[in-house]
Structure 1
Amino acid sequence: MAPSSGRRQPPSAEDLDERNIVGINKETITNTVSTDYPDNYANEEHAWDKEAFRQSFKVQWHDNKQHDAQFSLIGIDASIANAFRRILISEIPTLAIDIVYIHNNTSVIQDEVLAHRLGLIPFTGSKKGIRDFLRSWRKPVDGEGFYATTFDSNTICLKLHAKCTHNKDAPPNSKDPKELYHNAHVYAKDLTFEPMGVQEKHFSGDGVIRPFNPDILIAKMRPNQEIDLEIHMHKGYGWDHAKWSPVATASYRLMPTITITKPIIGAEAEKFADCFMEGVIGLEPVTRKEARAKGSGYEGHEGEMKAVVKDPMRDTVSREVLRHPEFEGKVKLGRRRDHFIFSIESTGQWDSDELFLESVKTLKKKCEVLRPQVTNMVYTY
């Protein structure tokens, strides 16, 4: 929209807040297009300003467990929030099984399926060793030997050797394969780390390379079946394969808004609360002050239960409340377009809060690469 030459009053706080809400209606969604850029509103300046961003931007942590975190980024555009999500999924390096050398596999699982199962096992180890010591592995080109690019600085070696045999000491009436046989089940904990070169210096003690969950089932075997493997792990990125993604999930959603525009009292209040997830809507008694205030809508209802918004972040915006005619015109649903609630579940190699900090560092590096190119482009033209 082009700027108007006429003067107009600056927008009120209510107008600014309304612009920032995505409207959730019964069958439609409104106000979805971003408007915070220059010349969108007449006689209003919306050029990006670093100091204004510094004052409005906030980070709020809701839950910060070692491998599961939830936090809010407030005051950013959807493009930036989505950049963090994409970086978390595909641009933070991790260690994963890449090549499997199968010396012997007489189990019922085919070689390629077995290799695929191994590749998806998440591993952990010394973060400093993985971050600073290990380098990316390069696939040999034509004419190079297969091990020409394999060194202790870019390859972790694991071995797995398990053979199923009868247990002579098993109880006579037992039907449990774990009691009847040795190595009936092969688990991730059966993978053994084989240090090469100076790797023991970087991966030892609590920092040894190991499966994050040792009880992941790899295969089931019966007597005379055997699995004998040598495995090479490499450092990689999620953009190459999902096995290198450091997160099980990395997602965000917009902060829900629930505005009660008219009083909802008594049995209607209870029904109103049932339309939302537990904990979103609360019931409180109408106070004497509210009951005596003219035009409040609570006149003569002192002591009765009224519906109030308790915790909108719990809401899933199911729109169930909009199906009931008795609530028509009494509630407005929406989502704040600049409030992103992130959920990060780490696969174990990184702590969940570390992953977010790494995503910030990665985005900063991208900006440092882009900045001189944009500067040169401006000076060129």
Structure 2
Amino acid sequence: MVHNISAQRNRVGIEHDRVTNVSSTDFPGYYPGEDQAWNIDKFKKNFKIQISNLTDLSSSFDLIGIDASISNAFRRIMIAEVPTLAIEYVYIENNTSIIQDEVLAHRLGLIPLKANPDYLRWFKKDDPDIEPTDYDTVVLHLSAKCTANPSSTPGTTDPKVLYNNANVYASAIKFEPQGRQAEWFPDGITAANPDILIAKLRPGQEIDLTMHCILGIGQDHAKFSPVATASYRLLPTIDIIGPPMTGQLAQKFKSCFPEGVIAINSKGEAYVKDARKDTVSREVLRHSEFEGRVKLGRQRDHFIFNVESTGAMTPDEIFIKSVQLLKRKCQILRKFDLRT
């Protein structure tokens, strides 16, 4: 009985025209006679991480048993505070393309770079007396010149066949190691996506420039953010109340939810197959025949995360770094006596 009460307290109610039980109540003094003080052993027992999908560019995982404030802290840190390497300064020697210098520099700055930022220090760009070094600055070079292709097939109109270097892609960016950088970055530093189109050239047009890359965070500029998106949602809950739904009623009930949420068993009864696929559209609450037969909600301490990387680093690396940064913030806070 206690378990059922606890489960109801931890569930956000989704009704036809409102959302109920939105505030968390698991803190001392709210319920008479109950000790809701935070306990490390209880937290370890209840906290879980479940990974459902993980690739080099995207991941989906569940954080179970934490508060929304902690979950949101991870999301904000991943977006704005995990440092990455990006192009900050562009020194243009020659640009005879139709793209203006400042537009070209902006396009280059937004190209995600695949590099481990842990080997570099922060560059103090606000200090004019500081010179870049191999410890804080990475040098890249881009050189491309368009010429006519003498061996092109007569009559063809494809620019890629007619000309050499008709399209300049991110793969043309070359890493020029300085100092010990060849040792720190044995695989080099390249664009996360080599097929990003930088410019289109025609015979006689040329681009020749040098780029300096430094560490930064998304809080300063979006080009430093390692994620394309980082979001979470609460786990949906669906409870079927009363006798089993069968026949046409079961089919209609199933059609009120996205594909894969509700299924029909061998007895012809509707049951919840996978509630996490539900988008909580409340469509089922529009029909009078389901009034009092279904209860929708969301689990307050179960967060389904979706992280899409720009390619600068893998999603699991981004999340681990967000945990390390939050831990560092807590360590700094503990140095201060909050009672003063």
Deviation at 1:327, TM superposition (A): 1.6
| Aligned match for 2:288, one of 325, 331, 334 | 325
Deviation at 1:140, TM superposition (A): 5.0
Following TM superposition, where does structure 1 have runs of at least 4 consecutive aligned residues deviating by more than 6 angstroms? Answer: none
Cα distance in 2, alignment partners of residues 264 and 175 from structure 1 = 64
Cα distance in 2, alignment partners of residues 141 and 358 from structure 1 = 28
Cα distance in 2, alignment partners of residues 66 and 159 from structure 1 = 26
Partner of 2:160: 178
Cα distance in 1, alignment partners of residues 175 and 158 from structure 2 = 30
Q: Matched residue pairs, number?
A: 339
Q: Is the 8 A contact 1:159 1:229 kept in 2?
A: yes
RMSD: 1.5
1:345 is aligned to 2:313: no
Query: What SS is found at the alignment partner of 2:302?
Result: strand
Q: Deviations over 1:8-39 (max 9, x none)?
A: xxx73222211111111122111111211111
State the TM-score, normalized to the length of structure 2: 0.96
Deviation at 1:317, TM superposition (A): 1.0
Fraction of identical pairs, as percent: 54
Cα distance in 2, alignment partners of residues 47 and 245 from structure 1 = 37
Partner of 1:166: 148
Cα distance in 2, alignment partners of residues 268 and 107 from structure 1 = 65
Partner of 1:70: 60
| Aligned match for 1:372, one of 316, 326, 335 | 335
Deviation at 1:149, TM superposition (A): 2.1
Q: Is the 8 A contact 1:162 1:226 kept in 2?
A: yes
Partner of 1:117: 107
Cα distance in 2, alignment partners of residues 183 and 324 from structure 1 = 62
Residue segments in structure 2 that go unaligned for 5+ positions in a row: none
Cα distance in 1, alignment partners of residues 106 and 292 from structure 2 = 55
Amino acid at match of 1:328: E
Residue segments in structure 1 that go unaligned for 5+ positions in a row: 1-10, 287-304
Amino acid at match of 2:149: N
Cα distance in 2, alignment partners of residues 30 and 339 from structure 1 = 17
Partner of 2:262: 281
Partner of 1:252: 232
Partner of 1:155: 137
| Aligned match for 1:269, one of 246, 250, 266 | 250
Cα distance in 1, alignment partners of residues 218 and 332 from structure 2 = 21
Partner of 2:32: 42
Evaluate the alpha carbon distance shift between residue 140 and residue 330 of structure 1 in structure 2; reply closer, same or farther with a 3 A threshold. closer
State the TM-score, normalized to the length of structure 1: 0.86
Q: Is the 8 A contact 1:139 1:149 kept in 2?
A: no
Query: What SS is found at the alignment partner of 1:150?
Result: coil
Cα distance in 2, alignment partners of residues 271 and 58 from structure 1 = 35
| Aligned match for 1:192, one of 161, 174, 182 | 174
1:87 is aligned to 2:62: no
Q: Deviations over 1:58-95 (max 9, x none)?
A: 11111122332111111110000001111111111111
Q: Deviations over 1:128-149 (max 9, x none)?
A: xx31x2111111535x3xxx42
